[in-house]
């Protein structure tokens, strides 16, 4: 399982773009990068997933450089409601690959959005 490293916490202000970087130096060829958001006492919620280059959806963008040893979650124009813990996970994409027990969460990044 690829180990991930994220900043423990970040502060931002409303309306700013926030970039959270995750390091995963031993990422494997079959591994995808997935980000989750978790509010206090709620289950994590899937945000975005990617393999390489850039992925964008309605809530975030994910930038992955060519060596795939890191990734950056970009949240445009954050609001107070974006205050949460953000987890970066790296693991194989298909359950049939034998890595079903993966999806190991690290400590995540506590993002605090200030008014």
In the three-class reduction of DSSP (H, G, I as helix; E, B as strand; rest coil), residue 82 is classed as: helix
Task: Using the structure block, give the residue that is written with the tokens 């994409």.
Answer: 93
Residue nearer to other proteins on the CB measure, 25 or 107 = 107
Chain contacts with other proteins (rule: CB under 8 A): 32, 34, 36, 41-46, 49, 87, 93-96, 100-101, 103-108
Residue nearer to other proteins on the CB measure, 1 or 10 = 1
Residue nearer to other proteins on the CB measure, 41 or 81 = 41
Q: Cβ(60)–Cβ(48) under 8 Å?
A: yes
CB of 26 to other proteins, least distance (A): 18
Q: Determine the Cα angle at 92 with ends 71 and 10, to 5°.
A: 30
């Amino acid at each position: 399982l690829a180990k991930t490293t994220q900043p423990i916490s970040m502060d931002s202000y409303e309306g700013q773009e926030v970039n959270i970087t995750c390091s995963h130096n031993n990422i494997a060829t079959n591994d995808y990068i997935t980000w989750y958001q978790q509010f206090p006492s709620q289950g994590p919620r899937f945000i975005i997933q990617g393999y390489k280059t850039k992925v964008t959806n309605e809530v975030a963008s994910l930038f992955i450089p060519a060596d795939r040893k890191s990734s950056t979650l970009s949240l445009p124009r954050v609001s107070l409601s974006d205050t949460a813990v953000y987890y970066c996970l790296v693991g194989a994409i298909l359950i049939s690959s034998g890595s079903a027990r993966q999806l190991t969460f690290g400590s995540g990044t506590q993002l605090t959005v200030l008014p």
